[in-house]
Amino acid sequence: MVDQQVNAPAGARGPGTVRRSQEDRRAESDRRILASARRLIARKGSAGTTLAEIGLAAGYSRGLPSERYGSKQALLLELVARTEEAFQAQLAADLGHRTGLAAVEARIEAHLTGALRGAEGVRTLYLLTMESLTVAPELHARVADLARGYREGFAQHLTEARAAGEIDAGIDVQTCATVLLGAVRGLISQWLIDPGAIDIPTAKAALMSLVRKGTRR
């Protein structure tokens, strides 16, 4: 039955097959539009990128991104959401079943190694984060939510580490989480600005050493 359905003439295919084909085409065009947006924004920021440029660079019409997303703001928010989905998937893989201090180190690993794995996406997200303070204030609430989530993740695992006796009982986990995220983001920012001056694996090892020494009982 499957072979008959696949090989049947277009007019003989059922509505489910046509619907799936339409969904596949839409998913592919979405992927290409967002990939095009990511490339262009990584190169010249969102303020210097138009929806028409994104459509043409993706191999479609100038008007398709506007038709699909309605506004640049909506497209940028979708781009941020897709980038975060990819990061969270990698973070889940890096964390596994780790808890406590091992999970803190896995989070550091996910952020820093993630920059190496997806430099274009990281550059785009960092540019959009900075632009949310100036030319793209409509993104501010979303990127602030991301930062809050990252801090909460570090704080959760520091709390686990404190409960397990892995770190000093007097550690202020919220402040420590804020400092950790600041260190991670600072390293990535320096690397984006001057990649040749920052060795991410070496910096990662140094940061993890500081975490272990600074939180020990």
Ranges under pLDDT 70 in the chain: 1-20, 217
The pLDDT assigned to 15 comes to: 58
The pLDDT assigned to 8 comes to: 42
Query: Mean pLDDT for the chain?
Result: 91
* Entry pTM: 0.87
Name every residue whose Cβ is closer than 8 Å to that of residue 84 and which is 6 or more positions away in sequence: 146
Q: What is the rounded CA–CA span in Å between residue 53 and residue 76?
A: 14
* CB burial readout 145-174, b (16+ within 10 A) else e: ebeeebbebbbbbbbbbbeeebbeeebebe
The pLDDT assigned to 215 comes to: 86
Q: What stretches of 45-172 show up as alpha helix (H) in DSSP?
A: 51-57, 64-69, 72-95, 100-117, 119-131, 140-163
HSE at residue 64, side-chain half, CA atoms within 13 A, is: 19
3-state secondary structure of 185: helix
Q: Which CATH class is domain 80-217?
A: mainly alpha
**15-70: which CATH architecture?**
Orthogonal Bundle (1.10)
| Residue 196 DSSP symbol | G
The domain locations on the chain are 15-70, 80-217
